Amino acid sequence: MNKKQIKSLISLTNRLHKQKYPMIVIIIIMVLSLLMSRDFLRILFPIAPDECEVLSIYDGDTMTLQCSGKTEKTKVRLYCIDTPEMKQKPWGAQARDHLRSITGNTVKLVEVDKDRYGRIVGEVHSGEVNLNLAQVKAGKAAVYDAYCKKSEYQAAEKEPKEAKLGIWSEPGLHQTPWEWRKQQRSR
């Protein structure tokens, strides 16, 4: 549940309480709301990864897939990571090329969420390799802390930072692509 949903649930609970609904009814409504939330359902019923054919890799954290059983192409944003934009030369092209080099023709997609552009946000595996983590470990991607809830990504980022690999080899906005995009929008 996101903050907005939690606030709505609290507001509803308060209104029901003021209207003198029995506490058991309020508790049942709260429990049902939690059970129906997408995050909770994923914990109870993990979704098997989709088998997908790789159609294209646009940059270091975005790919287009054709997943089995779906007629539409699936645009995927790699969860937990952010890579330099293609206009951030040479970093963007290096991140894209590395992702292309470690990605097979078919992958497994584990959907985590959808972003504001309607793309699937997920972890993508090529064979036994988690491509999201591989990008971080190779120094081609920064962990996008604002959207990452898995500590393994922050742990994986420490080594390339210390070794000054890839984007960590020299300071700059290529290390924080989200800041670079923000700066570009304000121009």
Catalytic residues: 77, 85, 119
Distant-in-sequence, close-in-space partners of 90: CB < 8 Å, separation ≥ 6: none
Between CA 81 and CA 83 the distance in angstroms is: 7
Between CA 68 and CA 12 the distance in angstroms is: 41
Q: Is the CB of residue 47 less than 8 Å from the CB of residue 110?
A: yes
> What values do phi and psi take at 15, rounded to 5?
-65, -45
Count of other CB atoms within 10 angstroms of residue 75: 17
